[in-house]
Structure 1
């Protein structure tokens, strides 16, 4: 059966890197016999320019009816301070599709270890599961001249579903270990979070688990990142910790992510739209390409296609083909069509 993939190129370098990702998808699909069709839709700042909103109804409807969504980048500085911003479209599509679990694997490639800000990055391999549709980002916000208020709400159901997702993720990994991150010594939502984790853990006796306060976890990510296997945490903490974790790799350009829940799964690089280099042909497409690999594995159960892409990325980096953010001079097309393309094809 032909699978339908909605593509959201978005803003900045988005159109360039999604083109690279789709070229790789085409090559792999031909090799493994994967039938698909693409449906490109407006999203983010580009959609605001055309329709006045970052998530047009047509885009949302197409996303609901797709088998997977590939998103490249969102954000444009011309909307800074505006009432309607591109990022609002990202929050809305997550909420509308019920995408409550954001998955960010961290792998540090051997040729890029010198870019890491810390010395000890041997054997670092963990994944962070961030709750994505609850918490302070979706609470009530009040801003007055000399006072502001943000409400952080969580229900047991919201916590339980993402915690179960994390334990089930751990069951598929060799170490089968979960670290739950909260701030239960201060926050009521964290007290509920920890209580729920303890109750859910009883259903997964093959998985070991521990609790960490968010400040302790932030320190350990730098001093002992090897201790982690699967990290699960709430929305705000997850936003901060995943960016800290990605810095261990020395670049945002080689990390992909996925978001899962009730609706169509959503795949995207973890980096932003990089408007300063948009249109120059020098953007690093690896995060986008690895997002394609995650899509093949997680939405379509095509492990062979995902592995082809991941091995191609490893060989390309091992051959020293780097874009400027990695200290090299390769263009976006050279990363995609050079040794990388040869490996895939």
Structure 2
């Protein structure tokens, strides 16, 4: 027989584990399916997570898995290839395993960072190549920071990172020329601007040492900021007709995300999403909070269904007049005694 669960959580990051924890504590049968490739694996620490500041990402996930398991949650390492709608929920197809049935789905597969195609960027990603000042700004404070512009967001990023360091250089690279107003803003904040295409990030050992331009010049930098395209990992949802949609900031395409309401409800009944797969800007603590909310909403939805099914079963159960009378007398007696 197929394995059956109340809820299958696809993705075992902070959002998925938080949702699985809430559901397991609600006495639901839960399976977490995770590929074992967390997005933040290159980062050394998790930041802005109250009470867990500075925790290594792997340690946070290991702690979360242990907590879910302590309440009966199950785990499977692997990938969900697709899902089919059936009368009582869903059937999931897993790589290297048999089908799994679920009454509800919570998809928390996160996103993929599409990085600029500059040699050295991927190799240094998460250490000396960064994108979020709230995640890494403190760690490179007062150091020499370069911002690699690949879109109109470059100026915005340069002005943001200026909060953490007085030594910020904007490399125009493939980004557009700043407007007159932006030139004035950059000058007022003492942000240097370098024209020309960046061809490589140079390293000394395993650390960034400089930014090489197409004309051969190398400018020493301690960290480089890039703007990835954030693409939702939504392959598990495609078979259900849920496709990621473009996310724009003004006219700039930030990436793609799966649409959902604030509780994580998608257009497919019985399917919820949480974390970066639907919210590109969610940090770890925000993803965990979204997973908790979605888990609570799923449990509420299941309670409604459980109650409806119980009423239907009761209506199908034949009662003798004597048993009906005895039940009525018991209920009346309970009411008289305030029960």
Bigger CA radius of gyration: 2
The verdict on a shared fold, with TM-score over 0.5 as the criterion, is no
* Higher helix fraction (1 or 2): 1
* Higher strand fraction (1 or 2): 2
- Relative to the length of structure 2, the TM-score reads 0.29
